[in-house]
Amino acid sequence: MVRIMPTDPAHHTKILDRYRDTARPDRGYPDLHDHLLALAAAGKLVIVDEPVNKDTEMHPLVRWQYRGGIEEADRKAFLFTRPVDSKGRTFEHPVLIAGLAGSRDIYRIGFGKPLDEIGARWVQALAAPIEPRKVDRAPCQEVVVEGDALDEPGQGLDGLPVPISTPGWDNAPYLASAHYITADPDTGIQNVGNYRGQIKTPRRLGMNPSVELRAGIYAHWEKCRAKGVPLPCAVVLGCPPVISYAAVQKMPENLDEVAVAGGLAGSAINVVRARTVPLMVPAEAEIVIEGYIDTKYLEPEAPFGESHGYVNLQEYNAFMEVTAITRRRNPILTSFISQVTPSESSVIRKVAMEPVFLNHLKSTLSVRGVQRVAMHEPLTSLYAVIGIQFARGTAESEVWRAMHAASALHRFAGKWIIAVDEDIDPENADSLFWAMSYRCQPQHDLQVVDRKDPGHGPRGPRDNGETAAVLINAMLKGTYAPVALPKREFMENARKLWEKLGLPPLKPQPPWHGYDLGHWPAALEQQARRATESDYFITGEEAAKRRRDDVRMNDPVPQHGDNKPPGDED
């Protein structure tokens, strides 16, 4: 069991001192040690300096901040300095969980830019990557274990404190934040992708690299398979944050993610040649596992809890024979909190993917009127529900063009794509359902794009698992009556009274005040103003003068000289 002792600031300072680099680093970006110190300085780091079982306690403990009602702003990164396992074995290296994107604020610290500048920097980095800088000596090779030395107890994969992500379901510890580096055997262009990695033996690592057909590693594997040769691979565990942020994103096949990371940092990333495979690896990586992926045989891999929220059952997948493990003298092993979202893995993808989608629609395709793209995160893992916000009055042809484009950008992203007006917050699921309920006539405003690849998540039992994209135009098609909440001035005044009474702090949820949607005649504005001035009897007297015997119950009252909502007739 975890036994958390009272915090000792002096002792925690001593722990952090291990990661302070007094030498002047020859780089223009923070490494993981710098990032850890920045998290501590910002009050975003919890240090657990007690034995914690990596196989039963570590991930469940951090998981509670995602499933226990903790606000995102209050989420922390966790550094476990004394990992143990169920057999009582102790491990030398600490484990950092939720340290890269436990929240958007943690992501911001690692990225080094304000949140409102991150989207523009992503677009710039993809357009103008900076090639890596080759060095001869690197921190990631301060300690090298290779050849027969890997067979000694604790010197191979068995010496790494890899946690079990979903205890009770996963069949082994899995690398959750592993960045797999491979190269195209024809062009030599490297690719960095993030995939799970099953710890199978001290010298054999499983993987699941084919979930993305456009993934570089899978294309490289296929080419090597055709040539009858194994695929060289290097797996990075812990590195400068910008590399991790680049590794998890979907990019064109001709882009090297390390070069894109350089564009994010505004500085070339240092790389060094691996010891036993012909690849370049980040010089400031914490741990690097080198080896060759077999291209002839596949073997069972999984079950493993996946980010779509379900356990991925056992499949045949590739495996790697380890030839070397190199590391820093004081390495930190990183592990993502993934599975059911929100999670660390969803935050790390969301912050970059939304601006990439927006840039694709606005800049690449020049769709007019697009203001924002929001990928729904809780439970759905970003890929299923996408909200696109448009300026009021955007041409319907542009709305449909944007939704079709969003459904095609990634082969499986976008099962439900919903277009909304600028008064609807696409981040808010309740707001999306509200717009779908009252601004949409499904017989006119819904299209189905058939034969979409199943990609992410469990496959359905029909059509070989293929799915579809449902496009929903939930925008206003004309003038509407106002939103039925008190006007802003009255809500703001009431908030002052609320605070004066000492009631609990408010967290306004949109919509929190009423506003006009195009049909609010001057006569009705006058009547409403009278009501707030307690002069509503005047309105009652006017109503008596307009009595009629030629109308039915609920017939609308004509408002001469004003716009009328659809269906009104004089």
pLDDT, tens digit, 9 for 90 and up, residues 468-477: 999 999 999 9
What's the pTM?
A: 0.88
Cβ–Cβ < 8 Å for 301, 206: yes
Rounded CA-CA distance 479/429 in Å is 23
- Whole-angstrom CA distances from 544 to 355, 539, 551, 555 are 57, 9, 15, 16
Q: Which domains does the chain have, with CATH numbers?
A: 9-335 (2.30.110.10), 365-473 (3.40.1670.10)
pLDDT under 70 in the chain at which residues? 1-8, 22, 24, 210-215, 455-456, 560-570
The pairing of strands 270-273 and 280-282 is antiparallel
Instruction: Characterize the bridge pairing of strands 231-237 and 287-293.
Output: antiparallel
H or E element: which one contains 78? strand 77-84
Q: How far is CA 243 from CA 25, 122, 128, 178, 179, in A?
A: 17, 13, 16, 11, 9
Rounded Cα distance, 214 and 297, in Å: 21
Q: What is residue 83's predicted lDDT score, i.e. its pLDDT?
A: 97
Which pLDDT value is given to residue 312?
A: 85
Q: What does the pLDDT read at residue 568?
A: 44
Look at residues 367, 350, 354 and name the one whose alpha carbon lies nearest to residue 404: 367
- According to DSSP, the residues that pair with 312 across neighbouring strands are 304
Query: What is residue 559's predicted lDDT score, i.e. its pLDDT?
Result: 78
Contacts of 399 (CB under 8 A, 6+ apart): 369, 390, 419, 473, 475
